[in-house]
A = this chain, B = another copy of it.
Amino acid sequence: MRAAVMHQAGDVRVETVPDPRIVSPTDAIVRSVRACICGSDLHPYRSLPASDPGRPMGHELIGVVEELGAEVTALSVGDLVVVPFAYSDNTCPACRDGFQAACHHGGFYGSNGVGGLQAELARIPQAAGTLVAVPGVDPATADDTLLKSLLTLSDVYLTGYHAAFMGGVTAGSTVAVVGDGAVGLSAVLAARRMGAEQIILMGRHAERTDLGVAWGATDVVPERGDEGVARVLELTGGLGAQVVLEAVGLMPAYVQSYSIARTGGTISRVGVPQYSDAPVGGTSLFRRNLTLTGGVAPVRAYLEDAIQDVLNGEIDPGKVFDRTIGIEDTPAGYAAMDAREALKVMIEF
């Protein structure tokens, strides 16, 4: 089969690799229908040291079950499934607590002998706990809009949703979203679904913030740094936002987040932190009782409900995809996202 492999920063290649096979009776093999490129894939695209044989890429996928291990009884060959970006048994204590991305028996694609999902076929470990079937949808005849929205449930939309969920967004909340990437925009959509009254989107790319406004952002703040802080305070009666959803992962976004948070408010992070230490002392978090929450999204926890929301037409998160390519064009897809020519690139098989 054909699969994307990153050999070093800036060097993604599509290669012919062996088809994956059932290794454990809890595995499934899924034939890809749609995959995509994640903002988090750009971190290694900008920094990965050279390695041989390289890193299998991709962690977002919808596809059709092609083969099932003997212990996977709840799924059927031919099911259209959403593949969460982390696999999990959905039964361990972390899973039962709703944190499936930290499953005691789970893991991530592209490591530990598990391939990436920017590939024609994928082996999914812990398939019974991981995969969720989409009832009544035949990918061969399904509407492209529907498939796009289902694909976002693999990561991007539900990562934005996780930010809002952990941030405790509720009816009437004043929310600020830091970052106008696909996750930030998804966080806007999720916050609006949860009833936020004011949603301030901090971002500078009009073609992106326009989608944010369509999804419910009430204000757009293109300014950054002190000017951005001043603008958010002005928009919130001098108080700041009750909930700040941080969808970037870089230190300036972290500083921006606590600077615009209201006393007693919450910063919920889903941008993968590209730093290990950060301000948490008196002048940043402690004096104002700011709460710092969020983390790697347990997509699996939210998946059944979100599939229904998509099938019912209540959300349309697939609008984050503004470019569609074939698997052979994956390197160009990375380059387009890296250059911000594309918001999010979908791979059609």
Binding site for B on A (CB under 8 A): 93-94, 97-99, 101-102, 166, 237, 239, 262-264, 269, 272-273, 275-296, 298
Q: Bound complex: CA of A239 vs CA of B293, how far in Å?
A: 19
* In contact, A289 and B166 (Cβ under 8 angstroms): yes
In the bound complex, residues from chain B placing their C-beta under 8 Å from that of A282 are 272-273, 276
A281 pairs with B275, CB closer than 8 A: yes
Are A295 and B284 touching (Cβ within 8 A)?
Answer: no
Across the interface, which residues of B come within 8 angstroms of A281, CB to CB? 273, 275-278
**How far, in angstroms, from A278 to B292 measured CA to CA in the complex?**
12
B residues near A93, Cβ cutoff 8 Å: 237, 239, 263
Distance A281 CA – B272 CA, assembled complex (angstroms): 8
- By beta carbon, the residue of chain B nearest A289 is B295
Q: Are A269's CB and B296's CB within 8 A?
A: no
Minimal Cβ-Cβ distance residue in B for A99: B264
Q: A98 near B272 (CB under 8 angstroms)?
A: no
Tell me how far the C-beta of A300 lies from the nearest C-beta in chain B, rounded to whole angstroms.
13
Chain B minimum-CB-distance residue to A292: B292
Q: State how many angstroms separate the Cβ of A175 from the closest Cβ of chain B.
A: 16
Q: Are A94 and B264 neighbours in the complex by a CB distance under 8 Å?
A: yes
- In the bound complex, residues from chain B placing their C-beta under 8 Å from that of A269 are 286
